[in-house]
């Protein structure tokens, strides 16, 4: 039987997408935790181009970049599909996945900056949330995937879990539920799915990790 | 039912070129609409309200945005001719990885080459060449990234060849000297009608870049 391994890092929003996809499809896998501050020979061997996680190993063959990995998983194991079957609906889903992918950097931008740079990050966050509210979540669906979650929901997970933690770290409220009712509804629905709920980084651990990262950054700035 | 295909585009856009090539490879008749990006049409704003960018592919009135998504869509809908993505899932994943690499690296690094000068430009050039060399290795002994015929990565990357002359003049370097295999691949692609018809003349692109530099006040 084919062996599936996942090289990941516990704080990484991208890695959880792969975990959720594998669990949703009932695929057994071995998880290998990577210390990103001290990258392993294994990671450098299997992702020499970007040297990043997640990396999926299927029968020893590496696949890199979370969206590429998810599409691969979806093609090899078609049960509980992660993308619509209709080509047009799929193109729309891929549009939103790319949109989300291009915004995940806003997490780092928020907690690794201060002053004007941070204010600019806050502005970008609000713009992103507005797009989600006004364009992505129209149609009264429970999830981006309809009645069930799909790859688009997974792509926006950083808004559902990581944003809240970072707001506490930097002491700013960016997401006001009453201003983004559709997004708020979606977050509640998304986080109540058992596979999601049971596979998220611990809030306190994530808070401590991000707070430490921020303190290091601020300290190095003042030096 | 008659298929109605419209492409909202801007002639120097390497992203627009990707869709032009894909449509040509499949022999699809479409209406090309040139956009003035300083004065975007109501149609563009309606069809891509989130980004307001070209290219936008409009198929029977429904918009598909983002060039690589358009290429994949075209490949899926008109699947009986000139397949661009391989059928094997692992090879498909590899093709998607490299197209993503082109998107992440080539446009931004290339832009830095013509937009900057001095030390910043020297760094940009170095990183740009490094990226090109990495992609060049992927071709191996094959005529195309896609193997024996033009594939997804070829379509994703070849448009940038129309910008090479501009990069070289602005950066004062020769891409061929650094990546001869890559240029051989590019010239091979240019022999295909679908590619030759879809890429603008390199001098014209360079003139456009010079105008942009003036506009942005870059020496």
Report the CATH fold assignment for A87-222: Glutathione S-transferase Yfyf (Class Pi); Chain A, domain 2 (1.20.1050)
Contact A45, A21 (CB under 8 A): no
Location of structure tokens 């799915």: A193
Residue A141's pLDDT is what? 86
Domain ranges for chain A: 4-76, 87-222
Report the b/e string of B132-151 with b at 16+ CB within 10 A.
beebbebbeeeebbbeeebb
Residue A138's pLDDT is what? 83
User: Which has the closest alpha carbon to A73: A124, A20, A122?
Assistant: A20
> Does A69 lie at the interface with B, CB-CB under 8 angstroms?
yes
**B90 vs A98: CB contact, 8 Å cut-off?**
no
At residue B1, does pLDDT exceed 70? Answer: no
> Does A214 lie at the interface with B, CB-CB under 8 angstroms?
no
What's the pLDDT tens digit per position in B36-55? 999 999 999 999 999 999 99
What's the pLDDT tens digit per position in A23-53? 999 999 999 999 999 999 999 999 999 999 9
What's the pLDDT tens digit per position in B100-110? 999 989 989 99
Hey, what domains does chain B have and what are their CATH numbers?
5-78 (3.40.30.10), 89-216 (1.20.1050.10)
Residue A140's pLDDT is what? 81
What whole-number distance in Å separates Cα of residue B138 and Cα of residue B121? 26
Residue A63's pLDDT is what? 98
Residue B2's pLDDT is what? 67
Segments in A60-114 forming alpha helices (H): 66-76, 87-101, 105-111
Work out the percent of chain B whose per-residue pLDDT is above 90.
Answer: 95
With contacts defined as CB-CB under 8 Å, which chain A residues touch B100? 65, 67-68
State the ipTM, two decimals: 0.95
**Tokens standing for residue A176:** 């006001």
Mean pLDDT of B171-183: 97
CA dist list (Å): B60 to B5, B26, B72, B203:
6, 17, 17, 35
For A78, nearest residue in chain B (alpha carbons): B89
**A63 vs B101: CB contact, 8 Å cut-off?**
no
> Does A61 lie at the interface with B, CB-CB under 8 angstroms?
yes
Q: Which residues of chain A have pLDDT under 50?
A: none
What's the pLDDT tens digit per position in B4-36? 999 999 999 999 999 999 999 999 999 999 999
Q: Which of A58, A65, A72 sits opposite B100 (nearest CB)?
A: A65
Architecture label for domain A4-76: 3-Layer(aba) Sandwich (3.40)
What's the pLDDT tens digit per position in B49-98? 999 999 999 999 999 999 999 999 999 999 999 999 999 999 999 999 99
Sheet holding A30-33, edge to edge: A30-33, A4-8, A55-58, A61-64
What whole-number distance in Å separates Cα of residue B56 and Cα of residue A92? 12
Residue A139's pLDDT is what? 81
> Strand pairing of A61-64 and A30-33?
unpaired
Residue A1's pLDDT is what? 58
> Does B19 lie at the interface with A, CB-CB under 8 angstroms?
no
- Residues B113, B118, B124, CA angle at the centre, nearest 5°? 30
DSSP single-letter state for residue B32: E
**Tokens standing for residue A201:** 């980084």
């Amino acid at each position: 039987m084919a062996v599936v391994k996942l090289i990941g890092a516990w704080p990484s929003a991208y890695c959880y997408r792969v975990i959720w996809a594998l669990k949703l499809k009932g695929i057994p896998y071995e998880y290998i935790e990577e210390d990103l501050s001290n990258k392993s020979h294994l990671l450098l061997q299997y992702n020499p181009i970007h040297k990043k996680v997640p990396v999926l190993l299927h029968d020893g063959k590496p696949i890199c970049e979370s969206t590429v990995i998810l599409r691969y998983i979806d093609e090899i194991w078609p049960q509980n599909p992660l993308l619509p079957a209709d080509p047009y609906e799929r193109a729309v889903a891929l549009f939103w996945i790319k949109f989300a992918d291009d915004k995940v950097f806003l997490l780092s931008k928020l907690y690794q900056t201060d002053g004007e740079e941070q204010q600019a990050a806050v502005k970008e966050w609000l713009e992103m949330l507005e797009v989600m509210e006004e364009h992505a979540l129209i149609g009264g669906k429970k999830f981006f995937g309809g009645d069930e979650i799909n790859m688009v929901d997974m792509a926006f997970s950083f808004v559902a879990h990581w944003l809240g933690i970072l707001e506490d770290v930097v002491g700013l409220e960016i997401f006001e539920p009453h201003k983004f009712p559709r997004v708020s509804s979606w977050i509640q629905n998304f986080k109540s799915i058992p596979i999601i709920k049971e596979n998220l980084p611990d809030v306190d651990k994530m808070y401590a990790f991000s707070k430490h990262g921020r303190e290091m950054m601020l300290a190095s700035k003042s030096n | 039912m008659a298929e109605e295909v419209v492409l909202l585009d801007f002639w120097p856009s390497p992203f627009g070129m990707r869709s032009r090539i894909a449509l040509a490879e499949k022999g699809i008749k479409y209406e090309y609409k040139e956009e003035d990006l300083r004065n975007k049409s109501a149609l563009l704003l309606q069809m891509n309200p989130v980004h307001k960018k070209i290219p936008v592919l409009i198929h029977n009135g429904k918009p598909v945005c983002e060039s690589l998504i358009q290429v994949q869509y075209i490949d899926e809908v008109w699947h009986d001719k000139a397949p661009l993505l391989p059928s094997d899932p692992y090879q498909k994943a590899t093709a998607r990885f490299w197209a993503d690499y082109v998107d992440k690296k080539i446009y931004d690094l290339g832009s830095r080459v013509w937009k900057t000068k001095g030390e910043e430009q020297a760094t940009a050039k170095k990183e740009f060449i490094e990226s090109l060399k990495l992609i060049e290795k992927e071709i191996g002994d094959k005529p195309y990234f896609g193997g024996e015929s033009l594939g997804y990565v070829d379509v994703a990357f070849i448009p940038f060849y129309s910008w090479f002359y501009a990069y070289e003049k602005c950066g004062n370097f020769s891409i061929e000297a650094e990546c001869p295999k890559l240029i051989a691949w590019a010239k091979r692609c240019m022999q295909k009608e679908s590619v030759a018809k879809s890429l603008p003349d390199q001098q014209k692109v360079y003139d456009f870049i010079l105008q942009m530099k003036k506009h942005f006040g870059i020496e």
